[in-house]
Each structure stands twice: as structure tokens, then as C-alpha cells.
Structure 1
Amino acid sequence: MKNRLHYFIYRFFITICLTAIFTRPTYAQSLLLGNRVEIGLNFGPTFFLGDLGGHRGYGTTFVKDLNIPLTKLMKGAFISVSPNEWLGFRLAAQYTYLAGEDKIIATNGRPESFRKGRNLDFRSDVWEAYGAIEFFPLMYLHRGEEDYEPKIRPYIFGGAGLFHFNPQGSLTDQNGNKTWHYLQPLHTEGEGFAEYPERKNYKLTQVNIPVGGGLKYLLTDNINLSGELLYRKTFTDYIDDVSTTYIDYHLFNKYLSAADANIATAISDKSTGVLTRTDPGFQRGNPKNYDAYFSFLLKVGIRIGGGNGDDANAVAHTRCPARF
């Protein structure tokens, strides 16, 4: 039901944006008191940064620990309102897909072998919506200079948002058939169990902090292209359902149904190269770093409000002269 609701919201947002493209600019200008209004679409590759997967050596953050084969596509839409050329306020809604997989890690016999032997994986749809403030530093430095109209405009931005995720892990039977199971209801690390009071059930909808920067290129007065890095800081270590240590698998029978207990027992510990299950308390993840994800986006924007060349000229010819 939640996925259907998010899909409806996303389609509704896209419909509003596309409809606005064909709306007469004077309507949007009147509605937003002459501010520059821009709507658009964006898409590009997204990368997960968490406990699962990674590259050679110790697990690290950001680009060094990426698994390129797990690159996923993000797509979304945005609307921004700018009271002037150096400041903007953005609202955006987007969808992407995140994944991590230990077995694809390339090893050279050093610390990454632990993660590869752990053999866990996950995948998750991710829906997000956020608001952000955009700042164009060069336009700010040249504010008041009417002749300064560069085609390329660097910018930075930051804000706050919400995102929804729901991780799944896989099990493969003896015939090679793979099935996927939602992980949060299985409490794979004892979240919510009385024996682990410090491990609370994690919420599937949480706050994130989007930050980044980019370059905007003005094709015309009303159409532009942007290349953008969008990074999301989160406050959860469970996007991939891995954070702390292995638990006593007998507890699954205490708290879960028989069917779920069987799945949780198998999916919580898929370690390879050992004769028995991993001992309770042994490291499963690294709780010191929250999960994160980032995207490289291509954005196409269309200005529908005030602030185009004709409006600017009209204002210039109607304001009072600087001196008499």
C-alpha cells in the first residue's frame, strides 16, 4: 500500500510539473509575485554507502568504497523559486533504488575478506522528498551588475528531507532459485528483543540532509541544463539492515512465527567458509558510521515565472533614474 501511495504522489508531482510547462507565464508570475519560477526533471546514477559491499581494503566512506556494478538510476522532478539571481528555494521529489552485495567485493587477501565472507546482500526502493536553499556565489559577488549575465553558474545547496526505504535480503535454494524477503520484520540483529534493549526497531521513513553543488548552464533565457552532485546524510545505519553484531539465532523462535524464524535464521547469517554459524556477539556491521547515498544528476529546467529577459527589460525601463 505504501509503495502505491508513493507512486501516486510521484506521478501527481510529475503531472503538475508538466502541466505547468504549458501554463501561461503571466499566471505563474502573478501567483508568485514576480519571482523567478523554474520547474524541471532530473535523472542520473545513484550509489549506496553502507556496510554491505565495498572495495578493496578497509571499508571507507564516499567514492573509494563504491561498487560500480550496483549503480542504480534516480529520477525525479523539482520546482524552485528565486527572488533574485543568487538565491533560490527548491522543492524536489525523487525515486531511486539502492543495493549492496558482499560477494562482488574484489579481494587481495587483506581486511576486505571479512566482508566478502559475510556474504550478505540487500536491495531497497527509496522514495524521497526534500526542500533546500540554493546559493549562487558568483552571482552574489556580482549582484547589482546588470551586465553580468554568465551562461555557466556554479551553485551549492543544502536542506532537509524525508526518505522511505524497505530493505530486502535474498536466499538462494539448492537449485539456484533466489527469493527476496523484507528484512525489518525479521529483526535480524535483535531489534526490539528484550535481550538487546539498546537495539530499537528502526523506522522505514526517516529524515535526511541533502547537500551538494553543481553547475547550471543557460541554454536560453528560459531553458537550462545542470550537472549536480547530491549527497544525503542520514541518521540510520539500517538502510541495508546491517549495523552491529550477530545474535543468538534461537531468539528468532521466541519472537517470530515459525515460518519467519526459519527465514530470519537463514538470512541473518550467510557466512561462507565456516562449518558452524557465526558466534553471537561477533561483528556483523560497523555502527560507527551511518549509511548514506549520493547521486550525480543531469537536470533540465524550464523557467515559467518572472525574471526572463523581457520582464527584466520592462522593469529596467519603468524604474526611477539613478540621478536627475
Structure 2
Amino acid sequence: MKNRLHYLIYRFFITLFLTLIFARPSYAQSLLLGNENLTVEVGLNFGPTFFLGDLGGHRGYGTTFIKDLNLPLTKLMKGAFVSVQPNEWLGFRVAAQYTFLAGKDEIINTNGRPESFRKDRNLDFRSDVWEAYTAVEFFPLMYLKRYDEDYQPKLRPYIFGGAGLFHFNPQGSLTDQNGNKTWHYLQPLHTEGEGFAEYPDRPNYKLTQVNIPMGGGFKYLLSDNVNLGIELLYRKTFTDYIDDVSTTYIDPNLFNKYLSPADANIAIQIYNKTPTTITSRTDPGLQRGNSKNNDAYFSLLLKLSIKINGNFNNDYNRKSAEHTRCPARF
């Protein structure tokens, strides 16, 4: 399923991106559908992505959003998008992108206070993330000035929201006595008893799920055909298992009941990696994660796009209209 999803996303967007870039002007004009103000843009975006979940964090009690970030685990997101604007204040976007998420309790700075529980938990994860989404863009200032033909700013703030799909597959690490680290996929190990009869309220989580992308940014018109932008892209998800940590510790004997001997051996080692001197914190039923807040992630993106069709029939006509328009004031 994972390879199939990756293949379909990349094939669709690469084909669409190249087709639109190298399309003849006559083809671009056919996209107008009778609307002389419609513009079509294709572009690339990249920037750091930050994970918001149960693992990692900072001193004190676990918190949310910016205060929960671990910058050393930041990875770069890469993607492509197509944006269609029927007018200057409304747009529709389709995008696909790849990023990488990670979390690690080991890097928490501690002074022996409330964060010691998370530090001692000593869990980690990493996961490739592939996603595709559609969104509606709204330019509030352009909407308020929609009847003012003289209002053509180069810097245009906007907000957006939509719906998407993302695929993740968390891995956790084990380190042997020689310091050699190996990574293992966590979902098949059912580390919190997902899918076990003893935990009917914990179904096995799906690796491909729905998310809600939302955010805002600024679009700057470098020229008639090239735009540069900065955007904050936040994804609300409906799962608390991107990092495979959510609820409580389970009885490790259940791994032998439901898993193969090889998988059970790995699961017993990886579900509980607290130091051997600490035992009472990991008894079955005690807290392993916090299920009150679902996992999320967000990116700070630099966006570069090109316009592949004309507005006002062509840029020459638009400039001529601007030069011959009566001035608003003297």
C-alpha cells in the first residue's frame, strides 16, 4: 500500500507539473473556461517540518505547540503544488509532498522535575510521511478591495484550509550491547495492545489517514509570472499514533500470546525502554502517553511558483490598461 501510494502521488504530480510548464499558450488559454481573470500557477515548496506529539519536549510538564518542539529533530519537507485562481481573492490548490517526522525522549533537558518521567521513558520514533491535499485559499485584503482597480499590491496575505491524506509508518530503535542501533516498524508490534482482545477500545491504527491542512502566509509578486511566498502549514490529524505512543503500558506476556516469537521478542524490548533500575513506572495500566491530544505536525515553507497563463488576456494588455487608467488622485 505504501509503495503504491507513493507511486501514484509522484506520477500524477510530476506529469501534471511538466505538462503545465511546457504547455503551449493555446492550451493554457483553454484553461480560462471563459473567465479572463483566471490564473493557473505551478510551483515548488520546501522548508522545515516540526512534530507535535507525545515523545520529546522540554523541561517541566508536557505542553503543546511551540513549547513542545525539539529543533535538533527538524527535517526538510519537499513538495509541489498547482493553484487556480478564478479571481484575485480566491484560489484552489492541489499539492503533494514528502517529509520526515521524529521524536526522542532522550534529548529532553532535565533538572529532576516533572519532565523526568518522559526522560526515563526513553522512547523514540521516526517516520517518512507522504501526503496529498486540496485547499481553498482566501486573500482578505484583495477581497475588501475587489472593486478598486487601482489596488494591485505585490505583497498579498492569505489564509487557507482543506482536506488531505497522509501516510506514515513509525519505527522505533533498539541498541545492542555493542552500541549498534537497529530500527523496527512499530505498528505490527502492537506496543500498546492495539487490536488485542484484552483492549477492545484500542483498534489497530491505520497507516494512511485523513488530515486537515490549514494555515496562512504571504505571497509576493516578483514579476508578472513569478511569485515567491512564505507559508505556515499546520496539519490537524485524527490519530495519536504517529509516534506509536498514546495510552498505557500493557502486560508484556500478551506479546507472546498474539505475536510470532521473533516479533514478540522485539516488542518486549521496544515497548518499554526505561532503565532497568526503574520498574514501578511501567507496570501494566500506568501512563505511557497522553491520549487527550492527537498528534500533529506543521511546516514553515518557502514557495516559488510560476504563472502559466495570462491574466487580462496577456500581460501586455494589463500593463497598457494600468498606464491608461485615469489616476485616482493628482
TM-score with structure 1 length normalisation?
0.93
Unpaired runs of 5+ residues, structure 1, are 317-324
Between the aligned partners of 1:263 and 1:244, the Cα distance in structure 2 is 20
Match of 1:259 among 247, 262, 271: 262
Cα drift, residue 248 of structure 1: 0.0
The C-alpha deviation readout for 1:207-236, integer Å capped at 9, x for no partner, is 101010001110001100000000000000
Partner of residue 135, structure 2: 132
Contact 1:117 1:273 in 2 (8 A): no
Q: How do residues 21-170 of structure 1 correspond to structure 2 at under 5 angstroms?
A: 21-33=21-33, 34=35, 35-170=38-173
Partner of residue 14, structure 2: 14
Partner of residue 316, structure 2: 310
- Please tell me the residue identity of whatever aligns with 1:30: S
- Please tell me the residue identity of whatever aligns with 2:161: G
Q: Give the aligned length.
A: 317
Match of 1:202 among 202, 205, 214: 205
Cα drift, residue 145 of structure 1: 1.2
Q: Describe the SS at the equivalent of 1:189.
A: coil
The C-alpha deviation readout for 1:150-173, integer Å capped at 9, x for no partner, is 010000000110100000000000
Cα drift, residue 313 of structure 1: 6.1
| RMSD, aligned α-carbons | 1.9
Between the aligned partners of 2:72 and 2:65, the Cα distance in structure 1 is 16
Cα drift, residue 146 of structure 1: 1.2
Partner of residue 221, structure 2: 218
Between the aligned partners of 2:11 and 2:109, the Cα distance in structure 1 is 39
Between the aligned partners of 1:51 and 1:311, the Cα distance in structure 2 is 56
The C-alpha deviation readout for 1:86-135, integer Å capped at 9, x for no partner, is 00000000100000000001112221111010000000000000000000
Match of 2:300 among 296, 303, 314: 296
Between the aligned partners of 2:243 and 2:317, the Cα distance in structure 1 is 50
Partner of residue 320, structure 1: none
Contact 2:2 2:167 in 1 (8 A): no
Between the aligned partners of 1:240 and 1:286, the Cα distance in structure 2 is 12
- Please tell me the residue identity of whatever aligns with 2:116: S
Contact 1:26 1:305 in 2 (8 A): no
Unpaired runs of 5+ residues, structure 2, are 323-330
Partner of residue 284, structure 2: 280
The C-alpha deviation readout for 1:42-65, integer Å capped at 9, x for no partner, is 000000000001111111111111
Between the aligned partners of 1:239 and 1:255, the Cα distance in structure 2 is 22
Cα drift, residue 12 of structure 1: 4.4
- Please tell me the residue identity of whatever aligns with 2:218: L
Answer with 258-267 or 275-284: which moved more. Answer: 275-284
Answer with 191-200 or 31-40: which moved more. Answer: 31-40
Q: Describe the SS at the equivalent of 1:23.
A: coil
After superposition, the Cα gap between the structure-2 partners of 1:309 and 1:62, relative to the gap in structure 1 and judged at 3 Å, is same
Between the aligned partners of 1:69 and 1:181, the Cα distance in structure 2 is 22
Between the aligned partners of 1:275 and 1:144, the Cα distance in structure 2 is 68
Q: Describe the SS at the equivalent of 2:212.
A: strand
Between the aligned partners of 2:320 and 2:93, the Cα distance in structure 1 is 26
Q: Describe the SS at the equivalent of 2:275.
A: coil
Between the aligned partners of 2:260 and 2:293, the Cα distance in structure 1 is 32
Identical-residue share of aligned pairs (%) = 79
Between the aligned partners of 1:241 and 1:74, the Cα distance in structure 2 is 21
Between the aligned partners of 2:319 and 2:223, the Cα distance in structure 1 is 16
Between the aligned partners of 2:19 and 2:320, the Cα distance in structure 1 is 27
Between the aligned partners of 2:298 and 2:274, the Cα distance in structure 1 is 29
Q: Describe the SS at the equivalent of 1:17.
A: helix
Q: Describe the SS at the equivalent of 2:132.
A: strand
Cα drift, residue 11 of structure 1: 4.9
Contact 2:231 2:300 in 1 (8 A): yes
Q: Describe the SS at the equivalent of 1:73.
A: strand
The C-alpha deviation readout for 1:1-46, integer Å capped at 9, x for no partner, is 6236404532541343134222223312213424210100000000
The C-alpha deviation readout for 1:273-298, integer Å capped at 9, x for no partner, is 63547210110000000000000000
Partner of residue 2, structure 2: 2
Between the aligned partners of 1:117 and 1:159, the Cα distance in structure 2 is 39
- Please tell me the residue identity of whatever aligns with 2:114: P
- Please tell me the residue identity of whatever aligns with 1:20: L
